[in-house]
Amino acid sequence: MQETRERVLDALVDGPVTGPELAERLDVSRAAVWKHVEALRDEGFDVESGSDGYAIDEFPEFGGSAVEYGLEAPFDVEFHESIPSTNARARDLAQEGADDVVVLADEQTGGRGRLDREWSSPSGGIWLSVLARPDIPATHAPAYTLAAAVAVARAAREAGVDARIKWPNDVVVPGTDADGEAVERKLAGVLTEMEGEADRVSWVIVGTGINANVDPGDLPSEAEPTTLRAETGDVDRRVFTQRVLEEFDDLREDLDAVVPAWREYATTLGKRVRVDTPGGEVVGEAVDVSFPGALVVDTGDERVTVTAGDCEHLRPVED
Ligand code: BTN
């Protein structure tokens, strides 16, 4: 957030404060104060103007300044009511040299998922992309993807949802289907893009889609989706987004902590899996995840380390 806007917001939260007082305190013109107040109103802040001056009563449920306010992570947040894809917008910002920016949207009209699939992103979700320029080799970038999945799982668990992670980065919730069979429904997914040389990343974009205040019926059923609304009721998206960004920021500062944290919530480990990899199909028991996010599969003959692919959980083999 622009520094003056942030200071105006701070003062209004502590308000009431008159325009002239605020102008003097911040050393800006009254017209500038008025401009910031109007901009905050445009973002959905309920700025009251009474005889004692301006004061803020209510925060908008979602939005750039709202998420930045009180956020304990160093991100600027660019909010869009509707945008084709936050990852695409973050790529444009990367070309412009931006760093530590989050592109956040209420709705995406052209959301992309892994393996070039469409990602349905109706209004009410949390669709965000973090653009960062970490000083890491390209081979470590998958740890960023896992970190985002861990961050979402933690935020969802705080909200009372039994969120787990399916390799590599699907946040899922265990449940049962109409026949009482165990199923895992997808709550969130992560799509990471990056650019750089082998020894150093230039930028990385971690795109995270969270089915938040959305009806599962409004999402494609093939994806076996669930939503925070279905699991626990609507959440405060401002606070939920802040928690995700704060957890993600902590983890990226300590990449060695990512895999142990991921293992804590893993639903894939110990299961029989089939992984479609660029090099062919691997079937066996998922026995571990190694840094920066590779799945170790015991096929019975050997242990195969898979770095990328589509993973399916299989039913255990009957003896
Ligand atoms: C997956 O296939 O599981 C990954 C889905 C990633 C979707 C998110 S929503 C925000 C960002 N913008 C996009 O277009 N995709 C990612």
pLDDT, tens digit (0-9, with 9 covering 90-100), for 271-293: 999 999 988 999 999 999 999 99
Ligand 1: does its nearest atom lie under 6 Å from the Cβ of 163? Answer: no
**pTM, whole model, 2 decimals?**
0.94
Which residue, chain included where needed, has tokens 């944290």?
261
Give the integer Cα–Cα distance in Å for 193 and 110: 16
Ligand 1: does its nearest atom lie under 6 Å from the Cβ of 241? Answer: no
Pocket test for ligand 1, best of 130, 171, 184, 191 (most atoms within 8 A of CB): 191
For the beta carbon of residue 106, count every other beta carbon within 10 angstroms.
Answer: 22
Q: How many CA atoms lie within 13 A of 124 on its CB side?
A: 17
Where the chain has pLDDT below 50, the residues are none
Instruction: Please give the helix or strand (H or E) that residue 40 lies within, else none.
Output: helix 30-42
Q: Atom 15, ligand 1: which residue's CA is nearest?
A: 112
**pLDDT on residue 318:** 61
190 CA from centroid of ligand 1 (Å): 6
Tell me the one-letter amino acid at 278: P
Closest CA to 80 of 89, 69, 72: 89
One DSSP character per residue, 198-223 reads TTEEEEEEEEEEE--SS-GGGS-GGG
**pLDDT on residue 84:** 98
Ligand 1: does its nearest atom lie under 6 Å from the Cβ of 155? Answer: no
Give the integer Cα–Cα distance in Å for 319 and 62: 52
Give the integer Cα–Cα distance in Å for 87 and 112: 8
Q: 215 to each of 141, 162, 187, 233, how far by Cα in Å? A: 33, 18, 12, 10
110 CA from centroid of ligand 1 (Å): 10
Q: Report whether the peptide linkage leading into residue 292 is cis, meaning its omega lies within 30 degrees of zero.
A: yes
**pLDDT on residue 187:** 98
DSSP state for residue 14 in the 8-state scheme: T
Closest CA to 5 of 26, 19, 21: 26
Which atom of ligand 1 lies at the shortest distance from residue 210's CA? 9
Distance between the two ends of the chain, CA-based, in angstroms?
A: 60
Local structure of 182: helix, strand or coil: strand
128 CA from centroid of ligand 1 (Å): 8
Which atom of ligand 1 lies at the shortest distance from residue 87's CA? 12
**pLDDT on residue 54:** 94
**pLDDT on residue 15:** 87
**pLDDT on residue 194:** 95
Residues with Cβ < 8 Å from 147, sequence gap 6 or more?
Answer: 206, 248, 251, 252, 255, 258
For the beta carbon of residue 80, count every other beta carbon within 10 angstroms.
Answer: 16
192 CA from centroid of ligand 1 (Å): 8
Q: What is the CA radius of gyration of the chain?
A: 22
Q: Classify residue 213 by burial, with Cβ atoms within 10 Å: 0-12, 13-18, 19+.
A: buried
